Amino acid sequence: MSGSESNPKASLSSNVPMNNNNTTITPSDTIQQRRRMVRNYLLLCLDECMDEANQEYQSLFTQLQTNTDSVDIFKQRDECIDFLTDAEENIKSFLVVENTTVQQIMPLINDIPQLHSVYIFNNNKSQYEEWTTQWQKIKSIHTNIDDLCQVLKIGIKQFNQDSIAMSFITVNEMVSTDNLNQLEPTFMYTQIFKDILLDMKHDEQAIKQFIDYCRKNNSMSPITIDHFEKTYQTQSAIWCYTSFNIYSMLNSALRTLDADGIITMGFFMCRLHQEIQQLHQQQFNSDHGEPFIVYRGQGLMKSDFEKLQKLKDGLMSFNNFLSTSTDKEVSLGFAQGALGNGDMVGILFIMSIDPCIKSTPFASIKEESYFKEEEEILFSMHTVFRVNAIKQMDNTNTLYQVELELTSDDDYQLRLLTDRIHEEASGSTGWRRLGKLLLKISQFNKAEELYNVLLEQTSDESEKAYYYHHLGYVKNDQGDYEKAIWYYEQAVEIREKFLPSNHRDLATSYNNIGSVFNRIGEYSKALSYYEKALESREKFLPSSHPDLASSYNNIGSVYNRMGEYSKALSYYEKNT
């Protein structure tokens, strides 16, 4: 770690995004860009008088690393500000400031959306106390390293608690299941993610891929990664989930629906789910268990709370693995901890649980957890509750209790909804099911992300052709016709090598390329590909098949646009 002026940013783990606007983005480049951030927060430190030889400096940064495996350190104010403003808005930063004039930097950073909070470390506490009232993002001032790290640890834990992904479904949306585009996409994503993960088989190669993923992304320190690699086979997934930084990585991937992260961590999610399921069977093996209450306290953005207020008798799902407690006071503390954020309200969820319900497994993990002292009940991902009541807990409209009831296996409205989602994704296997659903509900950006990840990971030529073809479909819909043609042509190049000329997939590829050329007015090229599609289809389809009729119509349309009306008419007549 260098402290020279030529290197204004010294980092225990470099996370600085590098970008060259003159570089053509390939699928691999896209994945590398996504790999910059695999957590939803960063820990930064600005020290304009950094002395690496100083024992206090070494102690500070050693202890900061106990809160997270990666600390970005800056010697120059401008470098720190540039880093903050360049970060993605959904990645929040905790900033420790030492040996920096607060009144000079706070006006420059207080309104940066990516900055979550500021912690000041200085021997003269009284000098800075007035600034905590002037600048909302200054959370505390410390003269003691241990105190600073403890408060920072609490702040990060509160942030993780507040960042869990949720979906809200009103009664009207449940009734209108015909149009899935009206539903929150995250509800459907996580439903299909869960189904896919539990159906897939994972081998030891999956663990190696995850280790490689962590090293590339600096998502854990090298020491922590080595420790995880050595202990994963001997420790439970629950222990690893609570011990390492995995819970933050996993929940961040599910919250942002990061396809790369979810696919890479799929083996761990599957094992974690299975362990919760096994514990559930051990702890709740009776069909006549007594209902009980668990609690969860957190902050909720006001915009999300407005959605929640409309949910009387509606549904809400927690799309991550859901941590709850049997200790009401601990949970209330998390709800109250969010009140310092003016954009949030504090929520105490009171959840009524019938242990006989098997829809989503849950279990006490006290004995398996790294934190033995916590009374935690952990639910598997995508737990759905019905909203029974919302009640105000104070006089400031900032603290509420929300009464929830775990949905049962025979909840009619929920079953209709999930059956409809499964129907839309039917006919495919594995991750293709999710891609199909994303295309059907017009979530083209997410579909593109998924197909790029799958394309990067596969070595099977037929799978590559499939992903290239669907990336062409995405780009065509996005209006990027040049890239659409390129992707379609990649699919054709592969398929022509191993498929017979009369194969349905080849005909579809030819037809789609023709459609793009037709759309951009290159009619001779469109005609060439439409004719290839027709030639292929005539070899394997009966004369009455609608795909043949579509080909006749496409060719007739091109001739019509080219002004060759007699030829157009002859093809239109074949379509009758």
Q: List, for residues 479-515, the tens digit of each pLDDT value.
A: 999 999 999 999 999 999 988 888 888 889 999 999 9
Q: List, for residues 517-527, the tens digit of each pLDDT value.
A: 999 999 999 99
Q: Is residue 12 over pLDDT 50?
A: no
Q: What is the pLDDT of residue 434?
A: 80
Give the residue, 487 or 134, on which the prediction is more confident: 487
| Helix axes of 431-440 and 185-199: crossing angle, nearest 10 degrees | 160
Q: List, for residues 194-216, the tens digit of each pLDDT value.
A: 887 777 777 778 888 888 888 87
Q: What is the pLDDT of residue 13?
A: 38
522, with CB counted inside 10 A (0-12, 13-18, 19+), is: middle
Token representation of residue 361: 């497994």
DSSP label of 181: G
Q: What's the average model confidence in pLDDT over 388-404? A: 91
In the chain, domain spans: 9-162, 166-420, 451-574
Q: What is the pLDDT of residue 500?
A: 86
pTM, two decimals, is 0.75
Tell me, rounded to whole angstroms, the distance of Cα 249 from its chain centroid: 10
Q: What is the pLDDT of residue 34?
A: 39
Q: What's the average model confidence in pLDDT over 413-426? A: 75
Q: Which CATH class is domain 451-574?
A: mainly alpha
Please check whether residue 41 is in contact with residue 91, taking contact to mean a CB–CB distance below 8 angstroms.
yes
Q: Assign 244 to helix, strand or coil.
A: coil
Distance CA 467, CA 167 (A): 29
Q: Is residue 182 over pLDDT 70?
A: no
Q: What's the average model confidence in pLDDT over 336-358? A: 89
pLDDT exceeding 70 applies to what percent of the chain?
85
Token representation of residue 547: 């795909």
Distance CA 466, CA 444 (A): 16
Distance CA 467, CA 434 (A): 13
Candidates 3.40.1350.10, 3.40.50.2300, 3.40.50.261, 3.30.70.1230; correct CATH number of 9-162? 3.40.50.2300
Please check whether residue 534 is in contact with residue 543, taking contact to mean a CB–CB distance below 8 angstroms.
no
Give every CB contact of residue 488 below 8 A, 6+ residues apart in sequence: 468, 469, 472, 509, 512, 513, 516
Alpha helices in 257-381 (DSSP H): 259-264, 266-283, 302-309, 328-337
Q: List, for residues 106-115, the tens digit of each pLDDT value.
A: 899 989 999 9
Phi, psi of 421 (to 5 degrees): -65, -45
Q: What is the pLDDT of residue 178?
A: 56
166-420 CATH: 3.90.176.10
